[in-house]
Amino acid sequence: MTASATVPTSTAASRQRREALEGFLFLLPNILGFLIFFAGPLVLSLYYSLTNWDLFTTPKFIWLDNFVQALGFQLKPEAYQVALEQGAGFLGALGKLIVANDPIFWVALRNTFVYAGGVLILSVLPAFFLAYLLNSKLRGMTFFRGLYYLPVVASVVGISLVYLWVFDRQSGAINFVLGAITTLINRLVGANLAKPLIGWLNDPDWALFSLILMSAWRTVGYDMVIFLAALQGVPHSLTEAALVDGATRGTILRKIIIPLITPTIFFILVTNLIEVLQIFAEPYIMTRGGPANSTLTIVMYLYQKGFQRFQMGYGSALAWLSFAIIFIITSIQFRMSQRWVVED
């Protein structure tokens, strides 16, 4: 009895080991891919961020110097005194007293935040109202839903090249339309207004706004589809009961629909913010960060430092700073979501 019971047990254990080995072999390509293309570069970038590696010489540890270079400031009392003597005023002289170690980093960071805020405002709100309008069973709604989603599936490079023409100062579509409107006004009222020739991508005051417009247009379709799915999940019984009770559509929107889709709103805000804080392709293709660094973003700046000037150590440090910024902002979003997101 003992021998007969031992044989099946041994066979079962052998079969389990064989199945485990087969499962591991199936997982091995994914594991190797993760180690080679993700975990390995991640660890190496952290190592290089603590060095002065320039791609050609042996990396030398400088510890946190790269991070200090990016985030640090210097006090220059001599320049402050000179500015005061020249009549710059207190605030003007203060800018001479406190000087960033790397002022371009702060310019890129500011541009990134302005870009992110602009895209969120100009994409999330229009996407919600488009979804609200398209959340009906009228004829042709399916066509319009697909039409608004087309920019999402289009190539970023292709869209950027098209918008290079749209924003062109001399022959661009926007300036052409503005010129036609100006001509019409002149004929109607007898005015003599000059045709506006806005240098959308060539003017530092307009370049970043132009990128915001393009990116918001491209993002609206994706956000609209997510909002539309959330709106279709709102029970009709609730809205119908509210209408019977005399509630207006505006009240239903504010008191019933929006609270029920707050998890979706939170999801869109988080995912969109993570994406726009990593913007690279659009400014790289359209402006190369110019003019006068007005469209330089943090990811593009680390690309310039790492792959154009071969300061791989400093570029790696900027990448980790970018990760830290995104992580902190996302954590704040999750923390604040407890105050306004309505859970089921």
Question: What ranges in 35-155 are assigned the alpha helix state H?
Answer: 40-48, 65-71, 77-85, 89-97, 103-134, 141-153
Closest CA relative to residue 200, chosen from 180, 171, 241: 171
Give domain limits for the chain: 1-48, 64-101, 103-154+210-344
Helix (H) or strand (E) holding 73: strand 73-75
| Tokens encoding 291 | 């003019």
pLDDT tens for the chain, 344 residues long, are 445 555 556 788 888 888 888 888 999 999 999 999 999 999 999 999 999 999 899 999 999 999 999 999 888 888 878 777 787 777 777 778 788 999 999 999 999 999 999 999 999 999 999 999 888 777 777 787 788 888 888 899 999 999 999 999 988 999 999 999 998 988 888 888 888 889 999 999 999 999 999 999 999 999 999 999 999 999 989 888 998 888 898 999 999 999 999 999 999 999 999 999 999 999 999 999 999 999 999 999 999 999 999 999 999 999 999 999 999 999 999 999 999 998 76
**d(C-alpha 176, C-alpha 263), whole Å:** 42
Helix (H) or strand (E) holding 100: strand 98-100
Its pTM surpasses 0.85: yes
Helix (H) or strand (E) holding 99: strand 98-100
Residue 23 CA to chain centroid, in angstroms? 38
Place of tokens 């044989």: 7
- What is the CATH code of the structural domain delimited by 103-154+210-344? 1.10.3720.10
Closest CA relative to residue 130, chosen from 147, 106, 113, 114: 147
Residue 112 CA to chain centroid, in angstroms? 8
Q: What is the pLDDT of residues 28-51, one digit of tens each?
A: 999 999 999 999 999 999 999 999
**d(C-alpha 299, C-alpha 274), whole Å:** 12
| Tokens encoding 4 | 């007969």
| Tokens encoding 324 | 């830290």
